[in-house]
Amino acid sequence: MNKPIILGMIWRPRMEFERIRMQPVIWLPLIILSLFHMLGMLFVSRVKTEEWPLDSVQTPPTISYTYLPVNALIIDLLSFWVSIFIIGFIVYAIAKVFRKQVSLKQIFSLSIFLQVIPILALIIQALAHVLEWGEGFFSYNLQDLLHLSTGHFSFVFGYITIFTIWNWIIAAMGFQKVISLPTIVTFVIAIVLWYLPLSISFLFVTPVG
Q: What confidence tens digit (pLDDT) does each residue in 56-74 have? A: 666 676 777 787 888 888 9
DSSP for 2-33, please give it: PPP-STHHHH-HHHHHHHHHHS---HHHHHHH
pLDDT category of residue 205 using cuts at 50, 70 and 90: very low
Q: Residue 192 pLDDT more than 80?
A: yes
pLDDT category of residue 134 using cuts at 50, 70 and 90: low
Cα separation of 86 and 75, whole Å?
16
Mean pLDDT of 96-109: 94
Q: What confidence tens digit (pLDDT) does each residue in 146-164 have? A: 666 666 667 677 778 888 8
By residue range, what is the domain housing residue 173? 13-25+78-202
pLDDT category of residue 125 using cuts at 50, 70 and 90: confident
Residue 108 inside a domain? The answer is yes
Residue 114 inside a domain? The answer is yes
Residue 47 inside a domain? The answer is no
Residue 153 inside a domain? The answer is yes
Could you give the number of structural domains in the chain?
1
Q: Look up the pTM and report it.
A: 0.82
Residue 70 inside a domain? The answer is no
Cα separation of 84 and 109, whole Å?
10
Residue 100 inside a domain? The answer is yes
Mean pLDDT over all residues of the chain? 84
Residue 155 inside a domain? The answer is yes
**Backbone torsion region of residue 15, taken as left when φ is above 0, otherwise alpha when ψ lies between -120 and 50, otherwise beta:** alpha
pLDDT more than 90, % of the chain: 49
Q: Residue 16 pLDDT more than 70?
A: yes
Residue 94 inside a domain? The answer is yes
